[in-house]
Amino acid sequence: MADMVFHTKGITKVYTTGEVEVHALRGVDAELFAGEFTVLLGASGSGKSTLLNILGGLDSATAGQAWFRDDELTAMRERDLTRFRREHVGFVFQFYNLVPSLTARENVALVTEISQNPMRPEEALERVGLNHRLDHFPAEMSGGEQQRVAIARAIAKRPEVLLCDEPTGALDSNTGVQVLDALEKINEDLGTSTIVITHNAGIRAMAHRVIHFADGNIAEVVTNDSRIAPSEIEW
Amino acid sequence: MRALDKKLIRDIKRLWAQALAIAAVLSVGVMIMVMAFGTQLSLSETRDTFYERARFADVWSSASRAPKSLVEEIAAIPGVARVEARISQFAVMDLPDMNDPAMAQILSIPESGEPQMNALILKDGRMPGFGQRDEVLVNEAFALAHDFAPGDRFAVTLNGQKRDVQIVGVALSPEFIYTIGPGSIMPDDERFGILWMSEDVLAAAFNLSGAFNSVTLSVTRGTDLAPVKDELEKLLEPYGGTGPYDREQQVSNAFLDGELEQLDVMARIVPPIFLIVSAFLVNMVLGRMIQLEREQIGLLKALGYSTFEIAAHYMKLSLGIGAIGVVIGWLLGLAASQAMASVYVEYFHFPYLIFAQRPSVYVIGAAAGLFAAFAGALLAVRRVAGLSPAVAMSPPAPTRFRRGLLDRLIRVLKPEQPTMMILRAIGRWPLRAALTCLGIATSASIIVAGLFMFDSFDELLDVAFVQANRQDAILEFAIERPEAVLDAVEDLPGVLKAEGALSVAARLTHGHRSRTIGIEAARPENDLVRVYDGDNRVEVRPENGIVLAKRLANHLEAEVGDVIEVEFLQEGDEVYLVTLTGTVAQFFGLSAYMELDTVAAMLGKTPTLQLANVIIDTAYEDALFDAVKASPAISGITYMSEVRRGFDETIAESAGITLTIYTLMAALIAIGVVYNSARIQLSERARELASLRILGFTKGEVSYILLGELFILTLVAIPVGLVMGYGMAAGMVESFKSDLYALPLIVTETTYWRAAGVVAGATIVSALIVRRRIDRMDLVAVMKTRE
């Protein structure tokens, strides 16, 4: 397969809340490849979000190592992680996380203003089919539209990897398909490595590879020989 | 414009009410800084320039009659640069536009035509010609009060001779920037004027040819004044010297100093209160905002914004609020400075426009205001750094409530659930509750500290005019008279009763501290002027030794029972040992009291009097005035009812304005604190309150849960604030103390109630504004929001 963007060795994450210790990850070894559309599948609490957060430089591991290409994420300081996120990673979250006081265009501009070689906000929004909603505030848009703004915001910096945590989790099937279409199109057109977390098993059919999580570890990795279009997904 | 900056502007727009409430509090701090600091600066600079240009003297002294040949000896004192001998006398004036007599201080103009020191600034007309018997120059304030212009005439009694004089000019003098007659406590430009006349005319009138009775000195830069004053005193002693004094005791300058000191205290104490409160408010509001926006902060971090950039974003928000406050403060400060300037123009007589606006003051005000916003924000923004992006984007854990002290109280009180929620909320965030309480208390304290002065003035007037000074008028004799003169005074038309007094200049020494002062000598049976200490009359009998004003005793570090050395300045070197038998709280001036016979014996002569205190039958007032104006023996009259009226008027004038200003300032703080607290509580507990509404609680019950906490905090804060206010009042009384006056520390119940009322009112108003928001809460929308 092509070159590796992420790989981890024995990643462990333990959360301590009060007197309770929660083992979110128990020594995960994972590999993720450039240009690939990967789906992380698993029940809630299986550790997939935690892994995504560590790969994205949002969270730190309790033990083990993670690399982005040749750089060890787990050894980076806060400042380097900020730069890593700024330069290489695009995020899409379940609840869109748009800034409510900024319009669609401005939410995207939030990212383009601090990137090296971004696309214009209008172009990013066009890629997700929102060129007619440029000046709308989040409150004036549907959930699917908001999520597509979030995707536009994530891809506007031309990131190497796009990390999506339950991007369709809050959406109905129609708008969910629109969002997945947008993600697939970005993956095809720009060759952005895309990792999507979902607990909607239907989505796995559109991935190159599917990684199954259970109890804080990888249970199974499946490579799809043939992929289907988002519109064919059974919701 | 950057997207984050757009968010900033929209955030400010969304939070405008809260932002404005904070900006308003901050603006008061900036306003007072701009006003007090700016006024102080211009006042002191103008004074210094005026003193410099007009060659204001450094040392003054009077004598009864000293030969002019002494001038050379005085000039030979090391450090003395210039000496000017002159004649200074008090006289009664008969003015065409007034029935009652007015008083003048007359000063001589040397043959050269221009005084060397204390130069006169001509505002109109010309200087009196040398030897011109009827030409006078008058001070501007006096001319304005009577609408006098060169060419106008009036009569003045010079050493018993009534003389018709003509005004040839109007002038300003650095010695009379603040013009106050002897024995007065307020300027009265109608009844007290300064006249300048040719020296030879005055010398002839007062039998002072070849002599002087007043001398002014200037010294070379850096000269120590103490040895100069000592030398001068020695030289003047044989000629009835009354003790030299310097600028510090020069009346006009001392009043200016007092004013500058008050402005200084105001500039240093009041703005920090407002700035600290606004920093606290910025911290509270921004802290809450950061908590509410933790997801957005997490997102920004995820997007690659650094902690510093995000922190800077929130700092900008607070600086934006700060900037609004600064601009409002500037405008208010400008208005307040102009108001102050118009007050000063009335009381202080400077030759040039003094209240130029100084940019530096505005810059300093802005720096202080922005710093307050910055400091408040810094404490809140620290939390941004602590938020890890992953954690920030997940909902916060429910606040952990623990059982604590308050639960014991709850167990005892067994309140209903809503009250329980209130008490738990206070117990959960005790620091926040305490700070909110402190903010509200500050508001109450400002009212007490601002309004207690009127209580003090009431007390002061009561002591000064009802208990101590009961005479209707004071008649001053041109020369000291034996006691039999009182019979003649009682024979004047309308005089029902007359009592005499003598004031003798003396130096009091105790240990290494000493002070030159006028000792008031009178008969113990006198009843018109009594020595009072609070509610208790203090008797001054021959065996009683000396009684001192408390501030004077403090200055001398003397306590009752100590022996004070008394040296009379006009007589020999003899030092008398007198026991300090009492101290009195005195609000104006610094006095010492002794019995007349005792003083006369020490002076080695029969008792004489300088003045008579009289009770007047108002029906014969006009006849008395005519007699006084005509009498050669009387050099001055102080009409007490006029003094009282002037005082009352001045207080009444300022009472309304002061009351309004302090009430507004306090209300601003109270509203700023309460409104912001309520808004924050509302945003924190919207879901909780909406849930209660869905469970069937009424709007009133829900409001009670939210606002009840603030009412409880206000109830606790008010008494705390009243105590703080008393403390501030005590501090102000202490810092305003000077040789000229002192305020009694009196705070009446009315003032306390007023403070409590304003704070309670402001709390209720803020609560009602927030209550409207609770009433309009969209339950469904609130429940849908994720927190």
pLDDT digits 0-9 by tens, A107-164: 898 888 888 889 999 999 998 889 899 989 888 888 889 988 998 998 898 899 999 9
Report the distance separating Cα A41 and Cα A46, nearest Å. Answer: 9
Q: Do B10 and A59 touch (CB under 8 A)?
A: no
| Interface mutation target, options B8, B16, B303, chain A, most CBs of A under 10 Å | B303
Question: Closest to B305 (Cβ–Cβ): which among A17, A84, A114?
Answer: A114
Q: Do B304 and A107 touch (CB under 8 A)?
A: no
Q: Do B304 and A93 touch (CB under 8 A)?
A: no
Alpha carbon B546 to its chain's center: 31
Q: Which residues pair with A168 in a beta bridge?
A: none
CB pairs under 8 A between A and B: 81
Question: Closest to A113 (Cβ–Cβ): which among B2, B299, B397?
Answer: B2
Q: Which residues pair with B473 in a beta bridge?
A: B614, B639
Question: Closest to A93 (Cβ–Cβ): which among B3, B306, B393?
Answer: B393
| Residue (of B323, B332, B330) closest to B371 by Cα position | B323
ipTM of the complex: 0.73
Structural domain span for residue A196: 34-61+73-232
B786 touches chain A (CB under 8 A): yes
Alpha carbon B171 to its chain's center: 28
B299 touches chain A (CB under 8 A): yes
Number of Cβ within a 10 Å radius of residue A226 = 5
Of A64-68, A77-81, B762-766, which has the strongest mean pLDDT?
Answer: A64-68
Please tell me the predicted confidence (pLDDT) of residue B394.
64
Give B389 to chain A, closest Cα distance, Å. Answer: 5
Q: Do B389 and A101 touch (CB under 8 A)?
A: no
Asked if residue A84 lies in contact with residue A71, where contact means CB atoms within 8 angstroms, the answer is yes
Tell me if A7 is assigned to some domain: no
Collect the ranges in chain B with pLDDT lower than 70: 183, 353-355, 391-407, 410-411, 414-417, 534-536, 542, 544, 571-572, 694, 696, 778-787
Rg (CA), chain B: 33
- Say which CATH number the domain at A189 has: 3.40.50.300
Mapped onto helix, strand or coil, the DSSP state of residue B481 is: strand
Tell me if A100 is assigned to some domain: yes
Give A59 to chain B, closest Cα distance, Å. Answer: 6
Question: Closest to B393 (Cβ–Cβ): which among A60, A79, A97?
Answer: A97
Read off the pTM: 0.75
Report the distance separating Cα B527 and Cα B524, nearest Å. Answer: 8
pLDDT digits 0-9 by tens, A87-104: 898 888 887 778 887 889
The two tokens of residue B300 are 């920004």
Tell me if A151 is assigned to some domain: yes
Tell me if A26 is assigned to some domain: no
Phi, psi of B260 (to 5 degrees): -65, -40
Please tell me the predicted confidence (pLDDT) of residue B398.
55
Report the distance separating Cα A30 and Cα A20, nearest Å. Answer: 27
Question: Closest to A102 (Cβ–Cβ): which among B7, B14, B393?
Answer: B7
Residues on chain B touching A134 (C-beta within 8 angstroms): none
Q: Do B296 and A86 touch (CB under 8 A)?
A: no
Question: Which residue matches tokens 């509410």?
Answer: B292
Identify the closest residue of chain B to A110 by CA–CA distance: B3
In whole angstroms, how far apart are CA B603 and each of B154, B361, B476? 39, 55, 21
- Length of chain B (residues): 787
Tell me if A8 is assigned to some domain: no
Please tell me the predicted confidence (pLDDT) of residue A2.
59
Helix axes B430-461, B640-695, angle to 10 degrees: 160
- Residue A153, judged by CB atoms within 10 A of its CB (0-12, 13-18, 19+), counts as buried
Residue A189 Rama label (left phi>0; alpha psi -120 to 50; beta): alpha
Give A106 to chain B, closest Cα distance, Å. Answer: 5
Question: Closest to A110 (Cβ–Cβ): which among B3, B11, B388?
Answer: B3
Please tell me the predicted confidence (pLDDT) of residue B402.
59
Q: How confident is the model at residue A223 (pLDDT cuts 50, 70, 90)?
A: very high
Please tell me the predicted confidence (pLDDT) of residue A1.
47
Mapped onto helix, strand or coil, the DSSP state of residue A217 is: strand
In whole angstroms, how far apart are CA B31 and each of B20, B73, B366, B659? 15, 53, 10, 17
Tell me if A25 is assigned to some domain: no
Tell me if A17 is assigned to some domain: no
Report the distance separating Cα B611 and Cα B477, nearest Å. Answer: 6
Q: Do A58 and B388 touch (CB under 8 A)?
A: yes
Residues on chain B touching A109 (C-beta within 8 angstroms): 2-3
Q: Do A106 and B388 touch (CB under 8 A)?
A: no
Q: Do A86 and B304 touch (CB under 8 A)?
A: yes
Domain total in chain A: 1
Give B388 to chain A, closest Cα distance, Å. Answer: 7
Q: Which residues pair with A21 in a beta bridge?
A: A16
Got the DSSP string for B695-707?
Answer: HT--HHHHHHHHH
CA angle B601, B604, B606 (to 5 degrees): 70
Report the distance separating Cα B626 and Cα B162, nearest Å. Answer: 12
Asked if residue A229 lies in contact with residue A202, where contact means CB atoms within 8 angstroms, the answer is no
Identify the closest residue of chain A to B298 by CA–CA distance: A58
Tell me if A195 is assigned to some domain: yes
Report the distance separating Cα B406 and Cα A179, nearest Å. Answer: 52
Asked if residue B356 lies in contact with residue B42, where contact means CB atoms within 8 angstroms, the answer is yes
Report the distance separating Cα B109 and Cα B112, nearest Å. Answer: 8
Rg (CA), chain A: 17
Q: Do B304 and A87 touch (CB under 8 A)?
A: yes
Numbered residues of chain A with Cβ closer than 8 Å to any chain B Cβ = 17, 53, 56, 58-60, 78-79, 82-87, 89, 91, 93, 95, 97, 99, 101-102, 106-107, 109-111, 113-115, 153, 157
Please tell me the predicted confidence (pLDDT) of residue B787.
43
| Residue (of B174, B170, B152, B491) closest to B349 by Cα position | B174
Identify the closest residue of chain A to B781 by CA–CA distance: A139
List B residues 382-411 in contact with A (Cβ-Cβ < 8 A).
388-391, 393, 397
| Residue (of A9, A24, A13) closest to A216 by Cα position | A24
In whole angstroms, how far apart are CA A53 and each of A22, A89, A92, B302, B606? 16, 11, 11, 9, 105
| Residue (of B611, B564, B787) closest to B690 by Cα position | B787
| Residue (of B227, B110, B99) closest to B627 by Cα position | B99
Give B303 to chain A, closest Cα distance, Å. Answer: 6
Mapped onto helix, strand or coil, the DSSP state of residue B195 is: strand
* B152 DSSP assignment: -
CA angle B285, B289, B291 (to 5 degrees): 120
Query: Among residues of chain B, what percentage have pLDDT more than 90?
Result: 32
| Residue (of A35, A71, A64, A38) closest to A52 by Cα position | A38
Please tell me the predicted confidence (pLDDT) of residue B664.
87
Identify the closest residue of chain A to B301 by CA–CA distance: A82
Give A177 to chain B, closest Cα distance, Å. Answer: 24
Residues on chain A touching B786 (C-beta within 8 angstroms): 95
Residues on chain B touching A113 (C-beta within 8 angstroms): 2-4
Identify the closest residue of chain B to A156 by CA–CA distance: B303
Q: Which residues of B85-99 are buried (b: 16+ CB within 10 A; e: fewer)?
A: bbbbbebbbbbeeee
Query: Among residues of chain A, what percentage have pLDDT more than 70?
Result: 98
